Structure 1
Amino acid sequence: MNTTEDCDVVIVGAGPVGLMLANLLGMYGHSVTVLEALDDLIDYPRGVGLDDESFRTIQTVGLVDAVLPHTSPQHIMRLVNGAGKVILVNNPQTDEFGWERKHSFIQPEVDRTLYEGLSRHHNVQVLFGHRVEDVEEDAESVTAIAESVDADGQVALRRIRARYLVGCEGGKSPTRKRLGVTFEGESPSTRWLVVDVNNDPLGTPNVFLGADPKRPYVSIGLPHAVRRWEFMLHDDETEEQVTAPEFVDNLLADHVPDPSSLDFIRRRVFTHHGRVASNFRRGRQIVAGDAAHLMPVWMGQGWNSGVRDATNLGWKLATVLSGQADDALLDTYTSERKEHAEAMVELSMTFGRFIKITNPVAAMTRDVTARALNIFPQVKNYFADMRFKPMPRYHSGVLADPTTKASGRASSRITSRLIPVRTANTTVSPVGVQFPQPRVNTRDARNVLLDDAIGNWWSVLVWGNDPTDLLPQSSLDKLAALGARLVAVVPETQREWLEHSADPRIQVVGDHTGRLKKWFDDRPTPLVFVRPDRFVAGACLAQDAPATLDAILEAMHFTRRTDASDEAPERVREAVAL
């Protein structure tokens, strides 16, 4: 057996979640080894939908330009009945997080872009053909024992010791099984045949969900002229039967003039699963992506939910590894991500049940009801704008309540009786949700997305003022130890003036679109603490900032170790700059 190799984090599985997490940790300067049992990345299409939250994370790791060629923005979904009549349209127009709400994409190309992006980080390696056979854990570390086979057929064992192990190896995750947690939910018996082809014979963009009681189907136009169909199978149809060329050609006869001439990529049977692990972490082992939750395909959230996991977990692992927080911070990964994963699973399962109705009477009732509801603009817009999709809102985790300043929990409402609260346009709290990302101007750049202006770590945003004029020195010292960037947000008319007069430590941002002014105008929270994953940890009036900051630091188990804490923020800033 070879000698043991050391790194900060070992990731099992080189799928999109493992690759994204490796990019985040590499960006923050931590050493990572990714162990993948296969000899290369999977090269056939799987996921087809990429949302605005995922694109924001792709932006964070600096891979937008490489990913964009493999996507189509503004992917419209139309639900049609058995007669081909549209009964529901989903076409959200918002770009509050900086990107279109929905994109189609070619997953193998985007996954490979994530993989190739790791070459930027000398501290990250991916070992293909390495299957993890055993894991040893003690109080200080966790060791993955991986088996590989060389060109001569000789078996070798490799020991990789790390501070933490993250299992991103799919729904059958051995890591999750080692944790001994339950995997709660259901796996409906309904099977589907997925058919992918090159040289799209239709050429129409977007998505059609066919709620046909005879045989529900999906037809999806994808980038690079790839077309996907999915057909619901009947109970008496075997996998061997439905993957035969003659059967597939018959299914496609109503969709394509000449099915026999298609350039097939794959024909494969799959079953939808809707399951969530009861806990995403035990000790030094953690699960993410399909290992933590299995998403039915209907909302296109499998890939995106996994990236949300990586986005949430990445900065927390970086914080613990740098000595800025106790590892109890990692427990907030489950408390923050599990609830939203459950909500997305339930929504996807419900949407699937709505589509795959096969009883003709029930299908007619559904269609008539949908047409009636579409008469009302508010109902029609509710579906068109995708408002039915639950946006992540964290109620428990690295948060401070906007009213009570309680640590670790946050109500969804601000209930203070102060006049600024009572006169606000909304008392819905921004704590626990993502901060918007409009375009802004800075001294060095024009019309850039906000995240690119404020960096990839903690930020404190203040409307209309220099944060150093509002915060006491004790709070400024804590923010410096955290590595937070101080940001003054002003109308573009004031930007140059403030750049000349503000403390040089301040990043001045000019709101030339007015979208940030609108956000701050609607809410009685002119000072906002934004986490590295772009979620709001705290939001308050200026005088409440010290208490809010202390509550956030308590919730994240912040610590200033004499051997690490003074260097950690600088190491993070240097890594992000690279």
Structure 2
Amino acid sequence: MTDSHIHDVVIIGYGPVGQSLAILLGERGYDVAVYERWPSLYPLPRAVFHDHEIRRVFHAMGIGEEIEAISQPSAKYQWFNADWKTLVEIDWSAESISDGPVGYLFNQPSLEALLDRKAKSLATVSVNQGWEAVDLRQQADYCEVTLRRSHNENGTWVLTDETRTVRARYVVGADGANSFVRKSLGITFEDLGFQEDWLVIDLQPHEGVKLDVPDIGQWCNPARPTTMVPGGPGYRRWEFMRLPHETREEMQTSEKVWSLLSKWVTPEQATLVRYALYTFRSLIAENWRERRVLLAGDAAHQMPPFMGQGMCSGLRDAWNLAWRFDLILKGIARDDVLDGYTPERRPQVRAVIDASIAMGQVVCISDPEQAARRDASYLSGDVPPLPPFPGLTDGLIRIEQNSADGGIAGQLSVHGQVRNDGEVMRYDEAIGNGFHVIALDADPDLHLDRETLATLARIGARSIGVTRDESKVVAGRVLYDVSGKYQTFFAEHGAKAMIVRPDYYVFGAVDTLSDLPTLAGMLTSRLALSGEPDRSAEGVGALEA
């Protein structure tokens, strides 16, 4: 059966990345159909960490409060040698640029259940579970995806003869490491060389049980490299590296699991939730777009878990795609705007993978002599600190202010509390998502000409001022910077105004307000806008009435 209806977007895969993209597009009213080969959500934990940037994405999805209920702020991330001396300490509990701690721990089944409820509550989103994509074809104006129904046969899900073909303007493959979509496009993975087997164990301590373990730690013991982290509220996770003399089969028995855990916890103290042997790899797709089809999440990249960035990177993919699709589907921009997706996401993800590999190479040392040399280097202070988290270095940014060279363009923008008309709130609650023109101690609209205002209005941009000077506050236009974070951010970069993209990355900045129209022109000239601007606009707008 072929459905002649053409969806805006079809998403293949319904893990956190596919779920999130469906929500981000569905919230904007777009016609989205999601197809997932498994008939129900995966019930066991996988990812356990998300960072402050992803927390902002969850708030933008309207589920910030619900996320707080199923997660907990991170503690310090510590690496110890075999003698429990601290080699590295990364303070994930510290205040981040995003108004809150750097990281959070969560239970993935709880997260997926929350995302599932949200996606299925949206009138324009259709979630279809138990359908596996088996064919993909691109036409001039749309794509066709053929799917085959699966069912349970003696505990195994098998394909049936029932098929359906659906059409969409765009298709996103968020269908995991073995992505059908990626393979159907003939896109290959670049292998960056890291490969290690680790046994991942999740358990739930019994009520009242207190375990004597580091809150978040890597035990860099050459006799058995080990990871210990919370698995979200009420859960704990251990990860043990498979040693060269051990077989994959012997690692996956309950006897082996409890033997490895015996130093910290016994069966009388906790319930085993699951255990599985994973091969941690470092792979990245050469290209993430082929005409009307795009890749996201594990379909585009896989990385070792030592930075906790696997799922986070996939959610950044969805976040990056959402605002691009929004411009296209509204008819504001041509689909050339998708050309920036791979140049922006691939270098950032590649940098994260490289950092994850470097961290893994420190942890995954099983040779005692090599471990002793590592320990000596770290304990003597000879090892430089980890580099800052990478920003965007290509795509829709003001290249001469590139974050790769220490500039503001491509950096994640600051976020904090603001006060408007006596009420204190998050900035992203006060000002809706979209392109933002933000000025320090001024109303940006007063420094933009009529034509620039009209062009910015076309892309749904909003303008707002922030200030620490009470005398400059104007209700709905210039908001009070409660924490001083905005003032500090502008001062650090010598900026008076900046333009921030819908995904919270800085497009660029100016050091004098008279240059603001030029910066706005740089942005709109790069967006592949279609049609003519509405020159009747009086202003870009800030708070909606």
Q: Which of 436, 441, 448 is the matching residue for 2:425?
A: 448
1:522 offset after TM fit, Å?
Answer: 3.2
Matched, 1:133 2:129: no
Seen in structure 2, the aligned counterparts of structure 1 residues 282 and 255 have a Cα distance that, compared at 3 Å, is same
> What is the aligned partner in structure 1 of residue 393 from structure 2?
395
**1:297 alignment partner, SS class:** coil
Matched, 1:511 2:481: yes
Cα deviations by residue, 1:91-139 (Å, 9 ceiling, x for unpaired): 1413211231111111111122112112342111110001111112111
Structure 1: distance between partners of 2:165 and 2:199? 40
**2:133 alignment partner, SS class:** strand
Which structure dedicates a bigger proportion of its chain to helix? 1
Structure 2: distance between partners of 1:176 and 1:367? 41
Structure 2: distance between partners of 1:205 and 1:323? 52
> What is the aligned partner in structure 2 of residue 438 from structure 1?
416
Q: Which of 488, 493, 496 is the matching residue for 2:470?
A: 493
Which structure dedicates a bigger proportion of its chain to strand? 2
Kindly report which structure 2 residues correspond to 1:343-492, keeping only aligned pairs within 5 A, or say none: 343-373=351-381, 382=385, 388-392=387-391, 394-401=392-399, 410=402, 428-443=406-421, 446-491=423-468
Structure 2: distance between partners of 1:122 and 1:531? 27
Contact in 1 for aligned 2:403/2:411 (Cα 8 Å): no
Seen in structure 2, the aligned counterparts of structure 1 residues 211 and 149 have a Cα distance that, compared at 3 Å, is closer
1:86 offset after TM fit, Å?
Answer: 2.4
**1:350 alignment partner, SS class:** helix
Structure 1: distance between partners of 2:522 and 2:217? 48
**2:387 alignment partner, SS class:** coil
Seen in structure 2, the aligned counterparts of structure 1 residues 412 and 388 have a Cα distance that, compared at 3 Å, is closer
Matched, 1:527 2:527: no
1:277 offset after TM fit, Å?
Answer: 0.6
Kindly report which structure 2 residues correspond to 1:162-177, keeping only aligned pairs within 5 A, or say none: 162-177=168-183
Structure 2: distance between partners of 1:172 and 1:294? 11
> What is the aligned partner in structure 2 of residue 105 from structure 1?
106
1:557 offset after TM fit, Å?
Answer: 1.1
1:520 offset after TM fit, Å?
Answer: 2.2
Structure 1: distance between partners of 2:19 and 2:243? 37
After alignment, is 157-166 or 79-88 more displaced? 79-88
1:155 offset after TM fit, Å?
Answer: 3.7
Contact in 1 for aligned 2:48/2:108 (Cα 8 Å): yes
- Structure 1: unaligned runs, 5 residues or longer: 404-409, 414-427, 500-505, 568-572
Kindly report which structure 2 residues correspond to 1:186-225, keeping only aligned pairs within 5 A, or say none: 186=192, 188-199=194-205, 202-203=210-211, 206-225=215-234
Structure 1: distance between partners of 2:191 and 2:388? 19
Structure 2: distance between partners of 1:190 and 1:95? 31
Matched, 1:342 2:350: yes
Contact in 2 for aligned 1:10/1:165 (Cα 8 Å): yes
Structure 1: distance between partners of 2:464 and 2:121? 28
Matched, 1:118 2:105: no
1:67 offset after TM fit, Å?
Answer: 1.0
Seen in structure 2, the aligned counterparts of structure 1 residues 215 and 537 have a Cα distance that, compared at 3 Å, is same
Structure 2: distance between partners of 1:249 and 1:546? 64
Q: Which of 303, 326, 336 is the matching residue for 1:328?
A: 336
> What is the aligned partner in structure 2 of residue 16 from structure 1?
16
Structure 1: distance between partners of 2:118 and 2:308? 24
Contact in 2 for aligned 1:215/1:231 (Cα 8 Å): yes
1:451 offset after TM fit, Å?
Answer: 1.6
> What is the aligned partner in structure 2 of residue 283 from structure 1?
291
**2:233 alignment partner, SS class:** helix
* Residue identity in the other structure for 2:188: T
> What is the aligned partner in structure 1 of residue 526 from structure 2?
555
1:261 offset after TM fit, Å?
Answer: 6.2
Kindly report which structure 2 residues correspond to 1:65-84, keeping only aligned pairs within 5 A, or say none: 65-84=65-84
Contact in 1 for aligned 2:199/2:241 (Cα 8 Å): yes
Structure 2: distance between partners of 1:512 and 1:154? 59
Kindly report which structure 2 residues correspond to 1:37-76, keeping only aligned pairs within 5 A, or say none: 37-76=37-76
> What is the aligned partner in structure 2 of residue 418 from structure 1?
none
1:245 offset after TM fit, Å?
Answer: 2.1
Structure 2: distance between partners of 1:63 and 1:148? 31
Aligned identity (percent) is 29
Structure 2: distance between partners of 1:13 and 1:411? 33
Contact in 1 for aligned 2:148/2:160 (Cα 8 Å): no
Structure 1: distance between partners of 2:245 and 2:472? 69
1:48 offset after TM fit, Å?
Answer: 1.2
Runs of 4+ in 1 over 6 A off after TM superposition: 150-154
Structure 1: distance between partners of 2:228 and 2:389? 25
Contact in 2 for aligned 1:179/1:281 (Cα 8 Å): no
**2:408 alignment partner, SS class:** coil
TM-score by length of 1: 0.86
Matched, 1:157 2:163: yes
Contact in 2 for aligned 1:296/1:348 (Cα 8 Å): yes
Structure 2: distance between partners of 1:464 and 1:186? 47
Contact in 1 for aligned 2:194/2:357 (Cα 8 Å): no
> What is the aligned partner in structure 1 of residue 240 from structure 2?
231
**2:371 alignment partner, SS class:** helix
Structure 2: distance between partners of 1:238 and 1:395? 42
Contact in 2 for aligned 1:187/1:271 (Cα 8 Å): no
Cα deviations by residue, 1:338-395 (Å, 9 ceiling, x for unpaired): 0011111111111111111111111111112211118x9xx6xx4xxxx535232x23
TM-score by length of 2: 0.91
Contact in 2 for aligned 1:249/1:260 (Cα 8 Å): no
Seen in structure 2, the aligned counterparts of structure 1 residues 260 and 123 have a Cα distance that, compared at 3 Å, is same
* Residue identity in the other structure for 2:138: E
Seen in structure 2, the aligned counterparts of structure 1 residues 123 and 507 have a Cα distance that, compared at 3 Å, is farther
1:2 offset after TM fit, Å?
Answer: 4.6
TM-align CA RMSD: 2.7
Seen in structure 2, the aligned counterparts of structure 1 residues 330 and 481 have a Cα distance that, compared at 3 Å, is same
After alignment, is 506-515 or 470-479 more displaced? 506-515
Count residues in correspondence.
532
Structure 1: distance between partners of 2:490 and 2:332? 30
* Residue identity in the other structure for 2:482: H
